[in-house]
Amino acid sequence: MDEPRRIPAEHRADALVWRDVDEPEPADAGPVVRLLDELRRPLPLEGDQLSTLAGWSFRRFRPGVDDDALLAVNNRAFDWHPDQGGWDAAQLIERMRTEWFRAEDVLVHDGDHGLDGFCWTRLHPATDDEPALGEIFVIATDPARHRRGLGRALAVAGLDHQTRRGATVGSLFVEQDNAPAQRLYASMGFTLHRRRAGHLGPTGDARR
Ligand SMILES: CC(C)(COP(=O)(O)OP(=O)(O)OC[C@H]1O[C@@H](n2cnc3c(N)ncnc32)[C@H](O)[C@@H]1OP(=O)(O)O)[C@@H](O)C(=O)NCCC(=O)NCCS
C-alpha cells in the first residue's frame, strides 16, 4: 500500500517560497521541495457517490468536548506532515477562533474506541471571480482504521453538507505526492485546478 512521503520539518510551509507553477521561476529560487495541488470538482456529488454513505453515521464536532480525541486522530494521521501534524490544544483553539469556523461544518465519526475520523469543511461564498466553494479543510482517519471506507464516506458527507449550504464546487489542497489521498480524490472526480511549488530560499536553506 502507498504511504504519503514524509516531509521534513525544515520544509514546513512558512519556511518555503511559494509560487504558482504557471508563474516564472524566480532567478534566485532554490530547489523545489514541495508541490501542493488544489483540486476541484463540480457539486453536487452523483448518486453513486452519495450511496457510499449507506451504513455510516456522523455527528457534528463538540468544541471543548471532542478536542483531545480529534487532536489524537489528527496527529496520528499527519505524523508525516510538519504543518498539519503535531497540533496542540492551543493550535486547535486558535483555528476554531477564525471568523469562518462553525462546529457543524466539522463532521466526526465515533468508532468502537471513540472518535476515529473527521472531515472539517468550510464554505467560501461566491465572489465575482469564484463560485461558492465547499472546501475540505482537513480530513483524517485513524491509521488503525485506514482503508475501510471511512475516509471516502467522510469526504462524501463533508461535500454533501457544503452542497446543502450552497457550494457549487468542491475544493481541497493536497500534497502532490500524498498517494492515498490523491487516489481517493481522483476516484471522486476531483481534477487539478492549480499547482503551487514550494522552493527552498535563495541560499538553498529553508527560511527560519
Ligand atoms: C486520506 C485518508 C483520509 C483516507 O482515509 P481512509 O479511511 O483510508 O479511506 P478509505 O478507506 O475510504 O479509502 C478511500 C480511497 O483512498 C485511497 N487510499 C486510501 N489509502 C490508500 C493507500 N494506502 N494506498 C493507496 N490508496 C489508498 C483508495 O483509492 C481508497 O479507495 P479503495 O479502498 O476503494 O481503493 C487517510 O489516508 C488519512 O487520514 N491520511 C492522512 C491524512 C491525509 O493525508 N489527509 C488528506 C490531506 S489532503
Rg of the Cα trace of the chain? 17
What gap in Å lies between CA 107 and CA 88, rounded to an integer?
20
Are 75 and 89 a contacting pair, CB within 8 Å?
A: no
**pLDDT by residue (tens digit) across 67-109?**
999 999 999 999 999 999 999 999 999 999 999 999 999 999 9
How is residue 4 annotated by DSSP? P
Buried b (16+ CB within 10 A) or exposed e, 147-184: eeebbbbbbbbbbbbbbeeebebbbbebbeebeebbeb
Look up cell 457517490; give the residue: 49
**32 part of a folded domain:** yes
**pLDDT by residue (tens digit) across 22-54?**
999 888 889 999 999 999 999 999 999 999 999
Largest Cα–Cα separation, the chain:
54
pLDDT of residue 27: 84
**206 part of a folded domain:** no
Write out the residue range of the structural domain in which residue 29 sits.
9-199
Pocket of ligand 1 (CB under 6 A): 1-2, 4, 77-78, 139-141, 146-152, 172, 174, 178-181, 183-184, 187
For residue 139, the number of C-alpha atoms closer than 13 Å in the C-beta half-sphere is 26
pLDDT of residue 29: 87
pLDDT of residue 127: 98
pLDDT for 185 beyond 60: yes
pTM of the model: 0.96
**115 part of a folded domain:** yes
Q: Tell me, in angstroms, the distance from the centre of ligand 1 to residue 52's CA.
A: 14
**4 part of a folded domain:** no
**86 part of a folded domain:** yes
**134 part of a folded domain:** yes
**150 part of a folded domain:** yes
Q: Given pLDDT bands bounded at 50, 70 and 90, which one contains residue 114?
A: very high
**105 part of a folded domain:** yes
Question: How many structural domains comprise the chain?
Answer: 1
What gap in Å lies between CA 5 and CA 194, rounded to an integer?
20
According to DSSP, the β-strands at 169-175 and 191-199 are unpaired
| CATH code of the domain covering residue 159 | 3.40.630.30
Query: Helices 179-187 & 150-164, crossing angle to 10 degrees?
Result: 50
Q: Tell me, in angstroms, the distance from the centre of ligand 1 to residue 8's CA.
A: 21
| Neighbour count for residue 73 (Cβ, 10 Å) | 24
Ligand 1 nearest-atom number relative to CA 149: 12
